[in-house]
Amino acid sequence: MTTDAMPSGRRIWIGLPAYNEEATIPALFPRFLSVFPDRAMPYRIVLYNDGCTDGTVAAAAAWQDRLNVEIIGRPQNMGLGQGVRSLVEHVARAGGPEDILFIMDCDDTHHPCQFAAMIAALDTGHDVVIASRYRAGAHVAGVAAHRRLLSLGAAVLFKLLHPCRGVLDYTCGYRGYRVALLKHALEAHGGNLVRERGFACMVELLLKLRRLGARMCEVPIDLRYDLKRSASKMDIGGNTLRLLRKLIGWRVRGLE
């Protein structure tokens, strides 16, 4: 990434919710080093330890002499929602309004080489950018056909139930947020900004930001499940069905 993408006064934060990702740190962190070769660049990687029981924390800490890495978290596994909430709150407190927070998976399926395109999209006047599986030019590797079909069908239902202008991919965890928007959202919702424990938290946060008038856009993702080294921690079918039930409930009674 060139320094042009990070003008003076703006810091890039990278939030990594992590649960037992020891096997992926040696592959993912060199990718950060290729994007941020100089520690003087205005960025900070914040790994959220979601009660890891393996060597994730030690593996990340071993990079602190080469990358700007901070580790936060809890000794108990609390789920993705707690990780996203903690990262948002941490960066909203420590960051400036011009900063950008990227939240991405820590399993080496999302790549930091996409930061530049996502920052460029935000700089066209948007508050949230999503790396989307459903935009022209997206590349998805290592995902079975039936899972891709299930995800596409769910995305169509999400769009029908809760239309968000500029959004097709409601559940992808690779997003960039303006920190000014997150500060505003925390003022509006406080500790209730993210209440869901599982991956429904991604849709919950998106819909709450939409209600605040956030301008959203998408860029095509390069999703590399073929590089995933850790075991999947998500029941895709079960989680999707539970999320659809929540979406219907939110539609009926309004998002809390």
CATH number of the domain residue 117 falls in = 3.90.550.10
Of residues 236 and 189, more confidently modeled: 189
26 φ, ψ to 5°? Answer: -65, -20
Position 252 confidence tier, pLDDT thresholds 50, 70, 90: very low
Q: What is the mean pLDDT of residues 217-223?
A: 97
Total domains in the chain come to 1
As a whole number of angstroms, the distance between CA 211 and CA 185 comes to 10
Q: Which of 13, 206, 31 is nearest to 107 (CA)?
A: 31
Q: Is residue 93 part of a domain?
A: yes
Q: What is the mean pLDDT of residues 97-103?
A: 98
Position 147 confidence tier, pLDDT thresholds 50, 70, 90: confident
What is the rounded average pLDDT for all residues in the chain? 89
Q: Is residue 195 part of a domain?
A: yes
Of residues 147 and 168, more confidently modeled: 168
pLDDT digits (tens, 9 = 90+) for 38-64: 999 999 999 999 999 999 999 999 999
pLDDT of residue 119: 98
Q: Is residue 1 part of a domain?
A: no
pLDDT of residue 30: 98
β-pairing verdict for 128-132 and 175-178: antiparallel
Q: Is residue 231 part of a domain?
A: yes
pLDDT digits (tens, 9 = 90+) for 108-125: 999 999 999 999 999 999
As a whole number of angstroms, the distance between CA 202 and CA 93 comes to 20
In the chain, the DSSP E strands lie at 12-18, 43-50, 69-74, 100-103, 128-132, 139-141, 175-178, 216-220, 222-224
Q: What is the mean pLDDT of residues 194-204?
A: 89
Q: Is the pLDDT of residue 8 over 60?
A: no
Q: Is residue 25 part of a domain?
A: yes
Q: What share of the chain is helix, strand, coil (3-state, %, to 5)?
A: 45, 20, 40
Q: What is the mean pLDDT of residues 93-116?
A: 97
Q: Is residue 79 part of a domain?
A: yes
SS3 27: helix
Q: Which of 55, 53, 87, 85 is nearest to 70 (CA)?
A: 87
Q: Is residue 2 part of a domain?
A: no
Lowest-pLDDT choice from 61-65, 133-137, 238-242: 238-242
The total of other beta-carbon atoms located within 10 Å of residue 139's CB is 10
| Domain with 120 in it | 9-253
Q: Is residue 124 part of a domain?
A: yes
List, in order, residues 6 or more apart from 180 with CB less than 8 Å away. 97, 98, 127
Position 142 confidence tier, pLDDT thresholds 50, 70, 90: confident
Integer-rounded Cα radius of gyration of the chain: 17
Of residues 155 and 84, more confidently modeled: 84
As a whole number of angstroms, the distance between CA 184 and CA 190 comes to 10
Of residues 192 and 152, more confidently modeled: 192
As a whole number of angstroms, the distance between CA 214 and CA 77 comes to 31
Q: Is the pLDDT of residue 88 over 70?
A: yes
pLDDT of residue 239: 64
42 dihedral zone (left: phi>0; alpha: psi -120 to 50; beta): beta
